[in-house]
Amino acid sequence: LIPAIQGYFLYTRVQGCYFHICQALHRKVGELGLKTRYRQHEQTRRKIRMLLATAFLPVPHVITGVSLLEAGTTGPLAALFQYFWQEWMTDERLPFWNVHNVNIRTNNHLEGWHNRLNRKAGKSHNGFYELLELLIAEQGVMDTLIQQVLSGSVTVGVLRRVNKVYAQKQRQVAQYTGEYINGRRTLEQFLEALMYITPEPI
């Protein structure tokens, strides 16, 4: 699907979902038998969470960050890094999951809209014309909303209910990124600060 989108919409940047790459890495942690070690050993947990934080580095710095974290790893943890290099560090994949300077790092807004549309549908397998009617109705709602925003009767701020915790994390990411780019944090300090923002396994 991604090559088709990029082939048809030439100047489109396809962005992966940060939450989903984190989940993929946590699944691999489980497959490699690292869950207990992740829970019980601070150093293992730090390495894995800092590895997830490399997504916030500028793309040219990611290889250095991953190499720094990989140094001295053995056994299943080394296997996790090998998986990460093979699966996520290719020239094609790296820009896809990297979220440096990306404000919306997940596709939660899209999944929320999709869930709302499914609830309106009332069943899981709608026919083509039923789906078409739903989409036309949704377009009408969006047209009305756009007109309300343009006329000033509804503000964009009212429409955007930003989770306070997410907004705080967004400010922290921006602060730490600025400090790293301006040389006030080393690469390792940057990853250490951001490891507390990375999601825990579900």
Q: Residue 111: pLDDT band by 50, 70, 90 thresholds?
A: low
41 and 59, same domain (yes or no)? yes
Where is average pLDDT lowest: 21-30, 130-139, 149-158, 179-188? 149-158
Same domain flag for 146 and 175: no
52 in a domain, yes or no?
yes
Domain of 27, in residue numbers:
2-104+167-194
| pLDDT score, position 162 | 55
When divided into structural domains, the chain yields a total of: 2
Residue pLDDT, tens place only, 153-165: 666 666 665 567 7
**Inside any domain, residue 202:** no
Residue type, 187: L
97 and 112 housed in the same domain = no
Question: 């602060």: which residue's tokens?
Answer: 175
Judge whether residue 173 has pLDDT over 60: yes
Distance from C-alpha of 112 to C-alpha of 128, rounded to nearest angstrom? 22
> Does some domain include residue 141?
yes
Give dist(CA 47, CA 42) in Å, integer. Answer: 9
Is residue 39 in some structural domain? yes
* pLDDT greater than 90 at residue 26: yes
Please name the residue ranges forming H helices in the chain: 2-8, 18-31, 35-40, 42-53, 59-70, 75-88, 94-97, 108-121, 128-151, 156-159, 164-181, 187-194
Comparing 89 with 167, the larger pLDDT belongs to 89
Sign of CA dihedral 34, 36, 41, 45: positive
Tell me, what DSSP letter sits at residue 92?
T
Q: For residue 105, give every residue at least 6 positions away whose Cβ sits within 8 Å of its Cβ, in sequence order, or none.
A: 17, 18, 19, 99
Would you say residue 199 has pLDDT above 80?
no
Q: What is the structure's pLDDT at 20?
A: 86
d(CA 141, CA 120): 13
SS3 64: helix
- % of residues, the chain, pLDDT over 70: 86
- Position 148 scores a pLDDT of 72
pLDDT value of position 31: 97
As a whole number, the mean pLDDT across the chain is: 85
Q: Is residue 79 within 8 Å of 33, Cβ to Cβ? A: no
Has residue 45 got a pLDDT over 90?
yes
What are the pLDDT digits (tens) for 48-88?
Answer: 999 999 999 999 999 999 999 999 999 999 999 999 999 99
